[in-house]
Structure 1
């Protein structure tokens, strides 16, 4: 029987103040059996309640836009780094999986900032532009705009799906003088071209229609600064590839979708990552081909640890014996081991 794979690297051993961490094996919970039911449960489940109390931040980026962020702090004083959580494609701070992760971490004693990318959700009223899979300059600008008291214990980045691609690219490019301690990502498309092709495969026709509809709705939301031609390109796109090729790529100066994917796929940036990073993924993810992960020689990436499960779907991981999604338990355990005991 296939087993969960976790690769611990020397970076963990060098953490003198790190606590021991062992990964629990993932087992699917009935009735969410198989990758598709694991994936769609987030769409069917009631939206969880937000942590009580929150602070709204508006973080300036380029062109006069501001990114909306929600800050949730745990009860009582905690000497913990700030977790900056970034959503996936067409998501926001209100995505089911994002709320669930934030609640888990806040309950565990971490301050969590949910960042809404440019043009998504609560950021749309304060930004006329939009995000893309590798627009890391927005992430850097938002981090630099955070109040000093939130940065003084350091920052750990956490990304879901496309937000994970953005974070891995950012980590691989180099974090500059920002106080980044590490990163964790879940269900991340390391190869954007391969992921797009997989999304358009016949077995994913329902997912594809759902996602394309959401992408169009997000792009055309009131407040988006688009020309008539751009609006027509969005409305006329019949596939995710056409949406990226006719709208996203030219909007950001790429000659087409292929160039956009090649330039922004996180897999090409993994070798540049020098800070502790955790990658959590299900190899049966129906949206992301397993080959994207099999192609990486993880042993040659000493800063990266991976928790690769045979099962779990896309941002699913609804496991037996525990109502908390497995990826949230894995990330929380890794954070405690790496940074939870870190002295301020």
Structure 2
């Protein structure tokens, strides 16, 4: 059976607009319109705290499949920046995989969802080591015949990097799926500032400032930022936090620290798929066109879809559910 491809996604007008796809992807309207089955993964979910060393923990939710058949395997899902285990796209994908017979683990990155009070140190995108440790713990606690990881946006970037590091840590993964992953962070940051419409940066900044305030409330003895810094733009606030809270000596070094651009994914040796769209207004497609990839990594660039949208119709369901489910199913054949 042939697998779906990005070329198969041709939504009706006006859903062919990348901006509409992107805005609807995380909108409250979409969340309200989703059918109940898209929230199944929340039912009987078990909260799990993962020890990642040095006294730090990451939180997640584990849901065992209840089809009555043997589990197909374990699906581990990564949300995007300022998303969470309960982001619409995570719930929808997780519910579909659960329905297909997969056990599902949804992981919160540090300071995402309701986890701001778990760890004193601040989240940043180069904290890949603790995510890899978490993967190892998840696989150990919930052994399965097959393990697939799927991530969205920044979560897709984390999934690709974790896939490269897992084998050296003795963690067996069978497949990695990245939807609209951040490829070149410096280019993506520049694009949000100068090329994307103003409301995208406003949206992300509102969520980020709220998250930083929650962090400060959780640890009032710490000074994570000066109040004036919260009024800075995305680039300057990122620079302020990088200099204060990381070992990087510049913003540029930090952004390069989680880049997977150029030939960096040549070290990814397990089967993987990268799905993105040419009309993504958040992450420029040029970085995908310039990737050098090994033969085991599939790059699929759709014409439509926006940023993590791929919404098929006005029922607000996503093409990515079928796309991911088909590829996860393929690793079990």
Per the TM superposition, whether the score is higher than 0.5 is yes
Correspondence for 2:251 among 257, 276, 294: 257
Return the offset for 1:61. 1.6
Given candidates 265, 274, 280, the residue that maps to 1:279 is: 274
Aligned-pair CA distance for 1:149: 5.3
Correspondences of 1:120-159 after superposition (within 5 Å): 120-146=112-138, 148=140, 150-159=142-151
Give, in whole Å, the separation in 2 of the partners of 1:105 and 1:293: 27
SS at match of 2:218: coil
Stretch of structure 1 that moved more, 270-279 or 76-85: 76-85
The structural deviation recorded for 1:174 is 4.6
Contact 2:132 2:165 in 1 (8 A): no
User: C-alpha distance in 2, partners of 1:266/1:164?
Assistant: 11
Q: Secondary structure at the match of 1:231?
A: coil
Show CA shifts across 1:265-316 (max 9, x none).
1225311000000101011100011111111244xx2120122101110011
Among 32, 40, 46, the residue aligned to 1:55: 46
TM-aligned CA distance change 1:168 to 1:202, over 3 Å: closer
Bigger drift between 310-319 and 146-155 goes to 146-155
Which secondary structure state, in structure 2, belongs to the residue aligned with residue 220 of structure 1? helix
* CA pair 202-277 structure 1, distance change in 2 beyond 3 A: closer
Equivalent residue for 2:94, pick from 94, 102, 113: 102
Alpha-carbon distance in structure 2 between the residues aligned to 1:233 and 1:296:
40
* TM-score normalised by L of structure 2: 0.88
Structure-2 residue corresponding to 1:167: 159
Cα distance change of structure 1 residues 272 and 249 upon mapping to structure 2, 3 Å threshold: farther
Name the residue aligned to 1:239.
Answer: 233
**What is the CA–CA distance in structure 2 between the aligned matches of 1:236 and 1:126, rounded to whole Å?**
22
Report if the CA contact (8 A) 1:30-1:320 is conserved.
no
Q: Which 4+ residue blocks in structure 1 deviate beyond 6 angstroms?
A: none
Separation in 2, partners of 1:311, 1:196: 22
CA distance in 1, matches of 2:234, 2:121: 19
- Contact in 2 for aligned 1:135/1:166 (Cα 8 Å): no
Aligned to 1:314: 307
The TM-score with structure 1 as length reference comes to 0.85
Q: 1:331 aligns with which of 320, 324, 327?
A: 324
Distance change in 2, residues 1:224/1:62 (3 Å): farther
Equivalent residues of 2:83, 2:113 under 8 A apart: yes
What does residue 41 of structure 1 align with? 24
**Superposed displacement of residue 200, structure 1:** 0.8
Count of paired positions: 319
Distance in 2 (CA, whole Å) between partners of 1:66 and 1:226 is: 20
Task: Give the aligned partner of residue 62 of structure 2.
Answer: 71
Structure 1 112/174 Cα, relative in aligned 2: closer, same or farther at 3 Å?
A: closer
Q: Which residue of 2 aligns with 1:112?
A: 104
Extract unaligned runs of 5+ from structure 1: 1-18
Aligned to 1:21: 3
